[in-house]
Chain A
Amino acid sequence: MAPAAIARIRWWLEDRLGLETVKEFLAHKSVPRHSATMWYYFGGITLFLFGIQVATGILLLLYYRPSPNEAYESVQFIMTQVDFGWLIRSVHSWAANLMILAAFIHMFSVVFLHAYRAPRELTWLTGIVLLGLALGFGFSGYLLPWNTISFFATKVGTDIAADVPLIGPALARFLRGGADVSGGTLTRFFGFHVAVLPGITTLVLLLHLALVQKWNISVPPKVEQEYRQRGQEVPRIPFVPDFILRELMAWYITLAILGVLAALFPWELGEKADPFAPAPAGIRPEWYFLAPFYTLKLIPSRVWFVEGEVLGVICFGLLALAWACLPFWASRRDGTIRTRLVTGAGVLLVSYLAVFSALGYWR
């Protein structure tokens, strides 16, 4: 096409969309650059994987049927009859796991780089909410193929929900759509997975990104100190094109890993769930729930007057709450950060998660 025509269309779009302001804004946006900059990419990687989930999820919706009679068969249909169905489904399953892994790495890099400190407390809080939503996506999506493993994992998971004090039984009933895991549960989880959770996530995600945009990327206190002592400014790179190029590279490396996993280690179909069969030995949830799962197994069935599992659930709840409030107990009155305390807590949490997940996997 004639370059003049292209130029005219470009101008028309820029004018009608008001892209001038966007271009101005992007031209001035910059990102700090230092030894720890590479950790900054994990937020974007999580976002990228979420985008992949939405896209592959919508594609799966074209063929999936959320009823106990048809769910397993529809997934089998996708895997065997639909062109590249195996790929879309394997990508969706692998990217789910990678996304949660990336979210955890993102969270821990924020902890160790102390990016949660004022004025970014709300960014941290929305981030924690997003992590919870991601785990909810994982839990609800896991049931949808309606195979033996996912059926019993859901049973175990909702049983644990019933251990929440006071509201536990009602919560479990709400999640299951009844007294047991059944077709009603499948319908509900499907609704959560494709409508409720995406809706809530979109809102919280937009808030999270808006806050990131508003306060820009933080610089770790140690780096700040270093440059202050040298009397220099922390160097920055322009967002466009430098940071975008690097972010794109991170995304492409993620794509490469995802492609290898999905093509060489396709996700299994398993066997259709039989609610009346006894649970197979060694049922366990997906890896991201293994640590709390194994911990609950270790707690004795009664501690004083409290049921062991209830105590466990209460402790996890309190821990999660404390973790969400990290920015508040991490900062002193004078505005400085208890960096050693937070780093220590972070190391402790990572070790606990790693060790107990490993134990839960091999025991």
Chain B
Amino acid sequence: MDSSRRGIVYWLLGGGLIGSLASFLYPVIRYMRPPEVAEAAVSEAEVGTVNEFPVNSGKIVRFGSKPVLLVRLGPEDWRAFSGTCTHLDCTVQYQPERQRIWCACHNGVYDLRGRVISGPPPRPLEPFDVHLRDGEVIVAKRA
């Protein structure tokens, strides 16, 4: 066995080992770097700044994978409810003139505590908590 042949073997072996180790280490090192969002939005989610929500208005915001209706009644009075109507899953909306929550699909009406006032919805809307933190609005699940 001549040395040139040995050389090829060592090159293959060495190169292969280094290459394969690199292909294992690269994902591991990338994995250890924390992603942009530090954790899954399980119990709370940032939905915007205080200025983005005018008084007496409602907006559908994202909480994880579900819609939440965020209503700002007064400068300090925030309410939040599940945005999915309990009748047939349409997305509800806030009616500023009547100060109530309405579902356009079959005329279901909820009050500002999420309770059903009229129409077909069988259950009230699940309420969420709203916190303010440094001008950011945070919606959180009720414990």
Contacts and interface: CB of A to CB of B under 8 A. Distances in A.
* A and B from one complex: yes
Interface of A: 55, 59, 62, 69-70, 73-74, 76-77, 81-85, 87-88, 252, 255
14 contacts: A62-B32, A69-B43, A70-B40, A77-B39, A77-B40, A81-B37, A82-B34, A82-B35, A83-B31, A83-B35, A84-B27, A85-B31, A87-B27, A88-B27
Nearest to B64: A73
Interface residues of B, number: 16
Contact of B31 (A76, A77, A82): A82
A256 B66 CA distance: 40
Contact of B28 (A59, A69, A74, A81): A59
A74 B40 contact: yes
A83 B32 CA distance: 8
B12 to A, nearest CB: 13
B20 A69 contact: no
B1 interface: no
Given A69-B42, A73-B42, A81 B27 contact: no
Contacts of A81: 35-37, 40
B133 interface: no
Nearest to A60: B31
Contacts of A76: 40
B30 A73 contact: no
Contact of A84 (B20, B31, B36): B31
Contact of B30 (A77, A83, A255): A83
A105 to B, nearest CB: 24
Nearest to B41: A73
A69 B36 CA distance: 22
Contacts of B33: 83
B40 A73 contact: yes
Given A69-B42, A84-B27, A252-B20, A59 B32 contact: yes
Contacts of A77: 39-40
Contacts of B36: 81
Nearest to A75: B40
B40 A83 contact: no
A341 B65 CA distance: 60
Interface in B30-60: 30-37, 39-40, 42-43
Question: Which of A55, A84, A252 has most chain B Cβ within 10 Å?
Answer: A84
A59 B31 contact: yes
Nearest to A81: B35
Nearest to A67: B42
Nearest to B37: A81
What are the 6 closest A-B residue pairs judged by CB atoms, nearest first? A84-B27, A83-B30, A77-B40, A73-B40, A81-B35, A73-B42
Contacts of A62: 31-32
A70 B35 CA distance: 17
B11 to A, nearest CB: 16
Contacts of A82: 31, 34-35
A88 B35 CA distance: 15
Nearest to A87: B27
Report which residue of B27, B30, B43 has the largest number of chain A beta carbons within 10 angstroms of its beta carbon. Answer: B27
Contacts of A83: 27, 30-31, 33, 35
A246 to B, nearest CB: 13
Contacts of A85: 31
A255 B28 contact: no
Nearest to B32: A62
Interface in B8-38: 20, 27-28, 30-37
A87 B31 CA distance: 9
Contacts of B30: 83-84
A62 B32 CA distance: 8
A59 B39 CA distance: 16
Contacts of B64: 73
Contacts of B31: 59, 62, 82-85, 87-88
Contacts of B43: 69
A220 to B, nearest CB: 31
A246 B73 CA distance: 73
Nearest to A56: B28
A70 B44 CA distance: 12
Nearest to A59: B31
Between A62, A81, A83, the greatest number of chain B beta carbons within 10 A of the residue's beta carbon is seen for A83
